[in-house]
Structure 1
Amino acid sequence: MTKQAHFEVLDYILLGTMLCGSMAIGLYFSLAGKRQRTKEEYLLGGRRMTAIPVCLSLFATFQSAISLLGTPNEVYTYGTMYIYDIISTTLSNLLAMVTVVPLIYPLKITSVNEYLGLRYDSAVVQVVGAVLGVLTSLSYMTIALLSPALALEPTVGIPLWLSIVIVGGVGTVYTTIGGIKSVIWADVFQTVFIFAGAFTVLAKGTMNVGGIEKVWDIGHATGRITLDEISFDPRVRHTVWGFTFGAMIYWYSSFYTQVSVQRILSTRCIEDVRKVYIISIVLTAVYSSILVLTGLVLTAYFHVTKCDPLAADFITNNNQLVPYFVLLTLRFIPGLSGLYIATIFSASLSTLSSGINALAANTVEDFISKILRNKSEAVMTTITKALVCFYGLTCIGLAYLAKELQGPVTQMTFMAVGAVAGPLLGMFILGASFPQANYIGALVGCAAGVSISFGLAIGAFRFGHPTEALPPGPTDNCSQENITSLLTNYSILLTTQSTQAMPTESFITTASTSAESDSKLQDRQLSIFDVSYIWHPVLGVITTIAVGLLTSVIVSRFMRQKHRPEAKFLFPICRKLWNSGSVLETSIEIDDMDGIE
């Protein structure tokens, strides 16, 4: 790096406001009204939360610093096909409305894995589901906590350990003392910073480049704007089908996590839960559009200024592109650096606080519920708070130990989380769709799914051919003397550039290079390890369901007493499909559950 951004007074004020505000919310719910005396109040807010705060909390949890840093990087590196993630999130929300909500909400459980235990009539299945859920949450939170620290250290000069400790420490404290209410309302507060920071960066960056038309033209010329990739080749990184089906399964699996289900169960009525999903679709679509456009702004800016920091070795990792852009090229705007750091910290805080609260709920309900059976509410609440603190410290340690991770954070998250989330989702779908499924089939199917998923992830890492990135921008003005002049007198440079013809020669070279990359892909033999990471969760789900159902049918022939699930443990459409006394325990249950819906 030639220079690092330095904080001014206003930057510290904005960052301090976000951190202190989050702590204040936790302190308020810890003290006001003395409402943290029961486990249900601490973990579920007494099941009295309304739709808007729950929706904003769910949004802030899943749209973490991973997306804030990773989505613009994806667009800059591979193009705009990532915009189709809006389709996958929309479809997953709609599917969750008609499956997860009527299945889970009426049960009034605390842990999502309690459903597995009830449906399969097996404590072992519940524990296996809990273990997979814990692994999923820890993987996601580790990357969410680490990714901003890795990006900020070289651009702002904040030591990696300090970023991790600040975010991890603040999140752990206010979650421990305030419970789920402090998590939800802190998420609402942090969502304001997330949108404010993301929109400010997009708006100012677009103005600096010369307007949205110029951003779009450069995006077309450099081959970044690609919206028509409909190849059926599973090796193609991003396609319409990949997002419509592959990424949709990944996002759908998130609705069976403890973080998501805990929000559903804390909501006061099922109508509010449906509102949560509808509003989430709109929020996610707007947010994803902002981040994709930000990726195009990065491309345009580096081409207009003729100084690509990655090609010039000013940065060492693609994930540092957005911080470099914001904190160096736009640092002359008072407070923007502080707002952006607050945005990144807010996104990490929301993910961490929600995750450790959910992990505590999993531990209390799935692992040590028998030990706590005869304990008082005060003792159970105290133990739950201690578990929140423990998991917070664990995430801080894991994030620091994983500091050597490299690669696009969105892909790392997809592969790490998807390797476990796919088989876990398979167990839920197997049990909620097929009354023939039993606990043996669920366990065997899950083992097969995990084996396939981890085999794909490890094989892709070691033997797969990574997708070739689009060529970076020019470095003509990246000398030590020019970069200083560039950052100081950018307005003059922009005026000069806008009166000249666009340097299309280098852009045409980029497009032809991309075409050559597609030709190389077609010439290469098909390998399972070259399959796009988008499809990994799908293969895990399919394997789990297929193996699980086949095993269940075979094993049931040798079982003296066959387990017939109650209708309330099936998806609504499956209750009607399997409405037979020989398959379900009772048809009356179906009518009762339809009334609840």
Structure 2
Amino acid sequence: MTDVRVFGPWDYVVFALMLVISAGIGLFYAFTGGKQKTTKEFLMADRNMRLLPISVSILVSFISAILILGTPAEMYTAGTEYWMLAGGMSMANLLAAIIFVPMLHPLKLTSSYEYLERRFQHRAAKLVGATIMLLQQVLYMGIASYAPSTALEAVTKFPDWATIIIVGLVATFYTTLGGMKAVVWTDVFQAVVMLTGLLAVVIQGTISVGGFGEVWKLNEDWGRIKFPSFNPDPTIRHTFWNLFVGGTVGSMSTFAISQASVQRYSTLPTVRMAQLSLAMNCIGVILMVSLTCIAGVVIFAYYAQKDCDPLYAGEIQNSNQIAPYFVMEVLGYPGLPGLFVACLFSGALSSMSSSLNAAATVTWTDFLKPRFGHLSMKKQTFITKGLVAGFGVIGIAMSFMARSLGGTVLQASASFTGSASGPLLGLFILGGFFPWANWKGAVVGGIMGLSFPMWISIGSYSLDPESHTLPGPTGSCPGNITTPPPTTVTEISGISNLYTVSYMWFSSIGVATCVIVGLAVSFASGPMKPNELDKKYLIPIFDRIFCCLPDKILSKCRCGRTFEEEDEGDELDNVADHGDIKACSRKDNQVAPLETKEGLDEAYTSQSQDGAQNGGLSMKKKTKNNHMRMVTMRKMIQ
């Protein structure tokens, strides 16, 4: 076995510094500002965060150690087809900003699954969505925390069980103390660490090979430069269709309606800023996915030039260890190996802290608050912090279970979490696009949308895995070469054919199953009437995507509803749903409480004066609409 450098003192310093700073951010927000004494600050950062940190936080919540380890391993062993996923993820961000954010942000949700209860007018719909989400987050925490443990064990002989415990404890520590503010700002810090670590690998590796032109040529010579085919066969592991279309659907669930994303962009003060946070995320997605793909290409070129693949030479146990092995061999400068391991841990910490915060928020809001909401704010906050700590323990336990999954961390993550994310997106599509869907359809559709792809996902592990590893260079390898055994082609028939479907389709299968079954059950049990629903819970999908079409055509696609431009008075409807009845005076930009008749009159007078000063039909219409709402609210107060 080739002698590989081990961690030096500076590597441990860099690695420890990252952990200390992450924990320090949690301590800082525990003792500054409101000191996390209210659930509004702890869970939602007082809904007053800034655009750039939220955009970065949304990005790194899902750009984890799974991506940093798994994507270079995929490039190294199977070629560049997976790179196409960057396009699908970017498209998902744009569609999420256009379609879902304008509906979800104005609702001022704490848990995104509160939408399901309001839209379907039954608590069962919310509980189904929240339960599926908790299952998904627990699975994701386990895989995301386990991923860096294999890397650290390979390069430092540090036991993987200790790595799992460190990640779990540090993430739980700063999330419990600092709440959402700590999670967001540690995400920003960890994003810088991840970017720096990946750039170090790409730049130093390219220099070692002799330039990017040589890197690309060596990959071409060994058949690694592969473009995805347009073959529609769903059993092919990677094609244009499952990477771009399937990737778009799967990522839509992540960036549009997942608790972690909704909770973040809902902390921004306006819809426009929330949309911009996802639009800006497109740049980050392309940058981070491309860097990890290029890292894999560079690493392969380095070992192709040496004419010895450490995977075939038996110097590493699996492809997930190729990136850290390369770092220890090539990045010989003091501190650089520590920087890369810190990069891996940053990815794991950002993912786990986001999952902890999201799981605690959903558990409190959707399951516990209806029963314990009468408690004092101090006790409510104490309970939510206890939930974070409890889910931290569960996440650590799931990480130990993830050790037995086998395969690449990339595929394992996409298989199981994709199976759970599909039905969640399906529930929001069912509620937002189809006004006829009722709560019974949502419940049955959600359960079936989870069960079907999860069954396929588990079944796929019962088959002998088909090898996708391309031949590697072994001419100069010392000792015995361990080539993988030839793939045995077993005859698959009947229901087992479902298990051969590409893992990239699992989310799409969940969405389709949820929507189709949900609509069928809704119509069978008595569909809802479109005019019974408040339009703020529906999505005018054709108006938002095909806004340039004539109104004569669009009117036929609105399910019998009209979706006029929202006016300022509609904000009263949104805040009234939360028992926080306030109106904003445009004159002095101050918030006037409406708990009294005098407060109503003051707000109405200010808006009426603005209408008279600005003139125009549009302002007069808004003032009239506001007047009608003020009258209604006054009657309710009296």
Which of the five TM-score ranges fits, normalised by the shorter chain? Answer: 0.7 to 0.9
Q: CA deviation at 1:474?
A: 1.1
Identity of aligned residues (%): 36
Other-structure match for 2:355: 355
Other-structure match for 1:541: 511
- Where in structure 2 are the equivalents of 1:506-525 lying within 5 Å? none
Other-structure match for 1:345: 345
Tell me the distance in 1 between the aligned counterparts of 2:228 and 2:418. Answer: 26
Q: CA deviation at 1:401?
A: 3.2
Q: CA deviation at 1:472?
A: 2.4
Structure 2 counterpart SS, 1:463: coil
Deviations 1:463-505 (A, max 9, x none): 365253212221523349xx9xxxxxxxxxxxxxxxxxxxxxx
Tell me the distance in 1 between the aligned counterparts of 2:198 and 2:423. Answer: 34
In structure 2, give the amino acid aligned to 1:301. Y
Q: CA deviation at 1:332?
A: 2.2
Is the 1:419–1:536 contact (alpha carbons within 8 Å) kept by the matching residues of 2? yes
In structure 2, give the amino acid aligned to 1:289. S
Is 1:429 aligned to 2:429, yes or no?
Answer: yes
Tell me the distance in 2 between the aligned counterparts of 1:168 and 1:398. Answer: 11
Other-structure match for 2:264: 263
| More off after superposition, 39-48 vs 313-322 | 313-322
Is the 2:132–2:450 contact (alpha carbons within 8 Å) kept by the matching residues of 1? no
Structure 1 counterpart SS, 2:115: helix
Is 1:142 aligned to 2:142, yes or no?
Answer: yes
Matched residue count: 558
Other-structure match for 2:536: 568
Deviations 1:136-155 (A, max 9, x none): 11111110000110222122
Is the 1:111–1:262 contact (alpha carbons within 8 Å) kept by the matching residues of 2? yes
Q: CA 1:208–1:246 in 2, change beyond 3 Å: closer, same or farther?
A: same
Is the 2:97–2:276 contact (alpha carbons within 8 Å) kept by the matching residues of 1? no
Query: Where in structure 2 are there 5+ consecutive unaligned residues?
Result: 544-550, 575-638
Is the 1:5–1:331 contact (alpha carbons within 8 Å) kept by the matching residues of 2? no
Is the 1:445–1:543 contact (alpha carbons within 8 Å) kept by the matching residues of 2? yes
- Where in structure 2 are the equivalents of 1:115-126 lying within 5 Å? 115-126=115-126
| More off after superposition, 451-460 vs 415-424 | 451-460
Return the index of the structure with the highest Cα Rg: 2
Is 1:324 aligned to 2:292, yes or no?
Answer: no
Is the 1:161–1:400 contact (alpha carbons within 8 Å) kept by the matching residues of 2? yes
Other-structure match for 2:418: 418
In structure 1, give the amino acid aligned to 2:121. D
Is the 2:426–2:515 contact (alpha carbons within 8 Å) kept by the matching residues of 1? yes
Other-structure match for 1:221: 221
| More off after superposition, 181-190 vs 438-447 | 438-447
Q: CA deviation at 1:227?
A: 1.8
Other-structure match for 2:164: 164
Q: CA deviation at 1:119?
A: 0.7
Q: CA 1:479–1:333 in 2, change beyond 3 Å: closer, same or farther?
A: farther
Tell me the distance in 1 between the aligned counterparts of 2:291 and 2:536. Answer: 41
Q: CA deviation at 1:302?
A: 1.3
Q: CA 1:156–1:289 in 2, change beyond 3 Å: closer, same or farther?
A: same
Q: CA deviation at 1:306?
A: 1.9
The CA RMSD measured in Å over matched residues stands at 2.9
Tell me the distance in 2 between the aligned counterparts of 1:544 and 1:478. Answer: 54
In structure 2, give the amino acid aligned to 1:565. L
Q: CA deviation at 1:23?
A: 1.1
Other-structure match for 1:448: 448
Other-structure match for 1:238: 238
Is the 2:168–2:396 contact (alpha carbons within 8 Å) kept by the matching residues of 1? yes
Other-structure match for 2:48: 48
Structure 2 counterpart SS, 1:371: helix
Tell me the distance in 1 between the aligned counterparts of 2:466 and 2:253. Answer: 25
Tell me the distance in 1 between the aligned counterparts of 2:146 and 2:417. Answer: 15
Q: CA deviation at 1:565?
A: 2.1
TM-score (norm 1): 0.88
- Where in structure 2 are the equivalents of 1:342-491 lying within 5 Å? 342-463=342-463, 466-479=466-479
Other-structure match for 2:547: none
Is the 1:464–1:530 contact (alpha carbons within 8 Å) kept by the matching residues of 2? no
Q: CA 1:363–1:213 in 2, change beyond 3 Å: closer, same or farther?
A: same
Query: Where in structure 1 are there 5+ consecutive unaligned residues?
Result: 484-509
Tell me the distance in 1 between the aligned counterparts of 2:316 and 2:437. Answer: 52
In structure 1, give the amino acid aligned to 2:279. I
Structure 2 counterpart SS, 1:231: coil
Tell me the distance in 2 between the aligned counterparts of 1:401 and 1:470. Answer: 29
Tell me the distance in 2 between the aligned counterparts of 1:282 and 1:159. Answer: 36
Deviations 1:4-40 (A, max 9, x none): 5422222122112211111111111100133412111
Q: CA 1:265–1:562 in 2, change beyond 3 Å: closer, same or farther?
A: closer
Other-structure match for 1:274: 275
- Where in structure 2 are the equivalents of 1:74-89 lying within 5 Å? 74-89=74-89
Tell me the distance in 1 between the aligned counterparts of 2:387 and 2:223. Answer: 49
Tell me the distance in 2 between the aligned counterparts of 1:307 and 1:177. Answer: 48
- Where in structure 2 are the equivalents of 1:8-19 lying within 5 Å? 8-19=8-19
Is the 2:452–2:510 contact (alpha carbons within 8 Å) kept by the matching residues of 1? yes
Structure 2 counterpart SS, 1:370: helix
Q: CA 1:535–1:9 in 2, change beyond 3 Å: closer, same or farther?
A: same
Q: Whose RCO is larger (CA < 8 A, sep 6+)? A: 1
Is the 1:306–1:478 contact (alpha carbons within 8 Å) kept by the matching residues of 2? no
Tell me the distance in 2 between the aligned counterparts of 1:230 and 1:594. Answer: 49
Tell me the distance in 2 between the aligned counterparts of 1:535 and 1:33. Answer: 45
Q: CA 1:374–1:540 in 2, change beyond 3 Å: closer, same or farther?
A: same
